[in-house]
């Protein structure tokens, strides 16, 4: 066994970084045995050096991340800072200085993954990022490596724990969105500003990364259609229950039936209670992968938090260190198919539409005609009337999203339609 240690620079020492450092220290012997050489924490770059960091030698702590990367002896950089800058520049500096990189940075990978992969390849180094998607759940490596011989056609997942916690609370207690969000905040699941989670940005970044891997094509954050879940109401859950469904914020990545394009989207959707994703409770994540030869696979586990995310980072660290010792690299970007990413209008799915209408003769016929005029076939209609007003719930057969949008626009213009209370896609059937 090699005795000269592999030197690791840790960029960021928050919830995840401090856990990575702790496990590197407490499991040092196991890591050494698994890698075939000792790994040494050579420096820890932080913003606030005065903060007490238990278990970390203060002599390793620096505020000058660039100098740490440029000192010339760093083998592997672990980036757990998050955000675009300075993380992007620091990762590039790491590659320029001969270090492979393990990153948990979904936003950066979703925005600039191609350029970072190119930089890694140019320098003959690794870029690993298991922790960027769904925390501890092994997903990137199984999709990049274990399924490399198969053809993935569809990925559908719950990749944001905060929103799953909120939706699960709304489902199980009948709470409204705000009440459930308040509980998520009190328990530390939601951040003080929950926008990135509840508006679907976090899930969209993960969706872009997964779509790129699944379809061997380049998918950026801007290619992902995104709708948040702040408008989901208790009434939507009541409707979902009547249909034997629940509501989840889903990331859905699909290869078109002709195989010539892909779609990537994040939005709330009804799914049947019999679907495996319906049973994913609290802040857990789960991803359902459909591959041609393998069939249906489900990956489940904690998608966030210090320890779970550190587990994924350390798995990557071991792999990258092994590659370094073997003077090899692991898989890089695979984007050879170069499939176009289609607009949301081309996605084909089912819809649940709730309308407030006047309760008088001919209204139902008028509504049904509007659907027919836009080529959207109705599956079921449920009406409940009271004092001259009625609520009408229409569930459609599969139709293109553009056709549904056209239908809704036309419905809004009807005098007899007082309002469109909610539109929700129905998935997983
Ligand atoms: N905020 C994310 C979540 C975890 O709730 O799942 C980090 O991506």
Confidence of residue 54 (pLDDT cuts 50, 70, 90): confident
Task: Please check the confidence at residue 418 and state whether its pLDDT lies above 80.
Answer: yes
The verdict on the CB of residue 161 being under 6 Å from ligand 1 is yes
Ligand 1 pocket test, pick from 303, 306, 308, 309 with the greatest ligand atom count within 8 Å of Cβ, gives 303
Question: Burial, 270: exposed, middle or buried (Cβ in 10 Å; 0-12, 13-18, 19+)?
Answer: buried
Cα of 80 vs its chain's centroid, Å: 17
- Report CA(284)–ligand 1 centroid distance (Å): 10
Taking only the tens place, the pLDDT of each residue in 64-121 is: 999 999 999 999 999 999 999 999 999 999 999 999 999 999 999 999 999 999 999 9
Pocket test for ligand 1, best of 131, 133, 197 (most atoms within 8 A of CB): 197
**Residue 211 near residue 262, CB atoms below 8 Å:** yes
How many CA atoms, within 13 angstroms, populate the side-chain half-sphere of residue 15? 10
Q: What CA–CA distance (Å, rounded) separates 257 from 208? A: 20
Rounded Cα gap, residues 142 and 169, in angstroms:
31
- pLDDT tens digits, residue range 161-182? 999 999 999 999 999 999 999 9
What distance in angstroms lies between residue 157's CA and the mean position of ligand 1's atoms? Answer: 13
Task: Tell whether ligand 1 has an atom less than 6 A from the beta carbon of residue 160.
Answer: yes
**Ligand 1 atom, smallest distance to 202 CA:** 8
Distance 309 CA to ligand 1 centre (A): 10
Kindly report the pTM of this predicted structure: 0.96
* 162 close to ligand 1 (CB < 6 Angstrom): yes
DSSP code for 274: T
Tell me the β-bridge partners of 406. Answer: none
Query: Which residues are annotated as catalytic?
Result: 206
What's the rounded mean pLDDT across residues 228-245?
A: 96
Cα separation, 410 vs 273, in Å, equals 32
């Amino acid at each position: 066994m090699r005795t000269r240690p592999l030197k690791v620079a840790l960029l960021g020492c928050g919830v995840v970084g401090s856990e990575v450092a702790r496990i590197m220290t407490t499991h040092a012997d196991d890591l050494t045995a698994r890698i075939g050489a000792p790994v040494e924490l050579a420096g820890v770059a932080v913003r606030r050096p005065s903060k007490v960091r238990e278990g970390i030698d203060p002599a390793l702590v620096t505020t000058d991340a660039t100098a740490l990367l440029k000192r010339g002896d760093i083998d592997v950089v672990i980036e757990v800072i998050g955000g675009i800058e300075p993380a992007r520049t620091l990762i590039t500096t790491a590659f320029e200085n001969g270090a492979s990189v393990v990153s948990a940075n979904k936003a950066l990978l979703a925005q600039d993954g191609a350029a970072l992969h190119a930089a890694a390849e140019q320098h003959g180094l690794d870029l690993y990022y298991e922790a960027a998607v769904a925390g501890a759940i092994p997903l990137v490596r199984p999709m990049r490596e274990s399924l490399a011989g198969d053809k993935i056609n569809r990925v559908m997942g719950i990749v944001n724990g905060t929103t799953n916690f909120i939706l699960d609370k709304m489902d199980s207690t009948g709470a409204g969105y705000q009440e459930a969000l308040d509980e998520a905040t009190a328990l530390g699941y939601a951040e003080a500003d929950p926008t990135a989670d509840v508006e679907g940005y976090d899930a969209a970044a993960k969706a872009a990364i997964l779509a790129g891997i699944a379809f061997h094509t380049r998918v950026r954050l801007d290619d992902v259609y995104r709708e948040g879940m702040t408008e989901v109401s208790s009434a939507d859950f009541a409707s979902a229950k009547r249909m034997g469904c629940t509501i989840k914020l889903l990331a859905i990545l699909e290869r078109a039936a002709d195989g010539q394009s892909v779609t990537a989207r994040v939005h709330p959707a009804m799914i049947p209670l019999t679907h495996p994703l319906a049973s994913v409770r609290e802040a857990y994540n789960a991803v359902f992968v459909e591959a041609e030869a393998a069939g249906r696979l489900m990956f489940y586990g904690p998608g966030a938090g210090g320890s779970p995310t550190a587990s994924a980072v350390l798995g990557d660290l071991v792999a990258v260190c092994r590659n370094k010792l073997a003077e090899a690299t692991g898989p890089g970007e695979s984007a050879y198919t170069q499939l176009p990413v289609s607009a949301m209008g081309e996605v084909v799915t089912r819809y649940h539409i709730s309308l407030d209408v006047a309760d008088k003769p001919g209204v139902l016929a008028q509504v049904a005609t509007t659907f027919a005029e836009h080529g959207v076939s109705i599956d079921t209609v449920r009406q409940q009337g009271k004092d001259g007003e009625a609520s009408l719930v229409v569930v459609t057969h599969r139709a293109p999203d553009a056709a549904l949008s056209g239908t809704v626009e036309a419905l809004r213009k009807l005098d007899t339609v007082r309002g469109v209370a909610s539109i929700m896609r129905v998935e997983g059937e």
